[in-house]
Amino acid sequence: MADQHESISLSPPQADRATSAGHSWFPGPPPPMYSCTLTPELVAKAREELQEKPEWRLRDVQALRDMILKEHPNLRTRLDDAFLLRFLRARKFDYDRALQLLLNYHAGRKTWPEVFQDLKPSTVKHVLDLGFLTVLPRPDPNGRYILFLRPGKWKPNDYPFVDNVRALYLTLEKLIQPEETQVNGLVILADYTGVGMSQASNPGPFLAKKIVSILQDGFPIRIKAVNIINEPRIFKGIFAIIKPFLKEKMAERYVLHGSDLRSLHRNILPSVLPEEYGGTAGRLDMSAWSRLLLDCEEEFVVEFCQPDPLEGVVLPDSMLCEGEQAGGREEDGFRALRSQLYYCY
């Protein structure tokens, strides 16, 4: 069994590690053989916040690896130290919860093939060119990178909304590679300028729930804050649909600023924001992150353009996104969403 897993265990391709040198503002992927890159300050932070003990780190990784080999011998997954550490850190080194997160991570690929099939940067270049998302080049004082979204840039007749989800997922995969992000977490900033009825109602509640499920329970990243700026009146309707799917702690991390830049600056310092948002970090550049992702094409081909990692694995119904057997309930939910949005418009 161990040989089956080890033979398909993946490590970051050498070519992409060399490519990352051209993007000095963002850390490159970890080396094939794990070596801790955390500063002494981050080691202390991980100990305090994540219950990570450096002297037990590799023992904990081996314990999770043994659980996978014993309980899920047919699961095709990476088993290298750097990869498994992501899941342990995201669940504060609780072995059972880390294993469940890993299974959810792979289950998402099985239940949402339109997102994960042939997932690589070149297939979402149109999303990147549109300026739907980027990562700001400077982390905040807490070491957290800021994922910047502009939903109003997308129009339903541009391309399917699921392409935005594909670009978002690739961005998260790249962001979670550095150990700093695994410890510090991530901040989201979303500018809702230009969002109208067509954008708000197009995804539908079923799609919204699947996105929330992946971010909360299916991806090894810690989202520390979600800042919404320039939200229209209909955002109350949007959030009313999303909120029931959010865990209480996550719902509390949403901050709505309206058009008040002073409110935004109390949560994200001007020193890391672009000039367009009252910051001092230069003009907003949407192209730097696009270039970084596109230069990592080979890395994502290895990661995602492979056989189904759950082929031959039978998943319990509890692991499948609710709605796979929902039938007409999705349409009922969509009608409810539209009625709420019209009320708020």
CATH number, domain containing residue 132: 3.40.525.10
> Based on the domain organization, do 74 and 140 belong to the same domain?
no
Q: Answer whether residue 39 is part of any domain.
A: yes
Q: What is the largest CA-CA distance in the chain?
A: 58
> Based on the domain organization, do 64 and 159 belong to the same domain?
no
> Based on the domain organization, do 181 and 268 belong to the same domain?
yes
Q: Which of 327, 231, 315 is nearest to 242 (CA)?
A: 231
- The pLDDT > 90 percentage for the chain reads 65
> How high is the pLDDT of residue 315?
52
Q: CB 159: neighbour CB atoms within 10 A?
A: 14
Distance CA 190, CA 215 (A): 15
> How high is the pLDDT of residue 202?
67
Domain containing residue 38: CATH number:
1.10.8.20
> How high is the pLDDT of residue 33?
87
pLDDT in tens, 236-248: 877 887 888 899 9
Q: Answer whether residue 340 is part of any domain.
A: no
pLDDT in tens, 84-97: 999 999 999 999 99
- The answer to whether residues 72 and 103 touch, using CB atoms and an 8 Å cutoff, is yes
> Based on the domain organization, do 261 and 150 belong to the same domain?
yes
Secondary structure of residue 189 in the 3-state scheme: strand
pLDDT in tens, 164-177: 999 999 999 999 99
pLDDT in tens, 254-293: 999 999 999 999 999 999 999 999 999 999 999 999 999 9
Q: Answer whether residue 169 is part of any domain.
A: yes
What DSSP string describes 207-230?
HHHHHHHHHHHSSS--EEEEEEES
Q: Name the residue type at position 115.
A: V
> How high is the pLDDT of residue 25?
79
As a whole number, mean pLDDT of residues 133-149 equals 97
Q: Answer whether residue 337 is part of any domain.
A: no
> Based on the domain organization, do 234 and 265 belong to the same domain?
yes
110 vs 13, residue with greater confidence: 110
Lowest mean pLDDT among 57-61, 109-113, 175-179, 301-305: 301-305
What DSSP string describes 32-79?
SS------HHHHHHHHHHH---GGGHHHHHHHHHHHHHHH-TT-----
Domain boundary among 83, 111, 139: 111
Q: What is the overall mean pLDDT for the chain?
A: 84
Instruction: Please give the helix or strand (H or E) that residue 105 lies within, else none.
Output: helix 95-111
Domain boundary among 111, 127, 156: 111
> Based on the domain organization, do 123 and 233 belong to the same domain?
yes
> Based on the domain organization, do 128 and 273 belong to the same domain?
yes
- The answer to whether residues 319 and 104 touch, using CB atoms and an 8 Å cutoff, is yes
Distance CA 4, CA 2 (A): 5
Q: Answer whether residue 170 is part of any domain.
A: yes
Question: What are the structure tokens assigned to 12, written together?
Answer: 């970051």
Domain boundary among 66, 90, 111: 111
Lowest mean pLDDT among 97-111, 189-203, 215-229: 189-203
pLDDT in tens, 294-342: 999 998 988 877 665 545 555 544 444 433 433 444 444 444 444 444 4
- The answer to whether residues 88 and 63 touch, using CB atoms and an 8 Å cutoff, is no
User: Length of the chain in residues, anyone?
Assistant: 345
Q: Answer whether residue 177 is part of any domain.
A: yes
Strands 254-256 and 133-135: unpaired
Q: How many domains does the chain have?
A: 2
> Could you list the residue range(s) of the whole structural domain that residue 174 is in?
115-301
> How high is the pLDDT of residue 238?
76
> How high is the pLDDT of residue 13?
43
As a whole number, mean pLDDT of residues 223-237 equals 90
As a whole number, mean pLDDT of residues 68-84 equals 94
Burial class (CB in 10 A: 0-12, 13-18, 19+), 265: middle
What pTM was computed for the model?
Answer: 0.84
Distance CA 297, CA 15 (A): 10
> Based on the domain organization, do 135 and 179 belong to the same domain?
yes
pLDDT of 145 above 80:
yes
67 vs 195, residue with greater confidence: 67
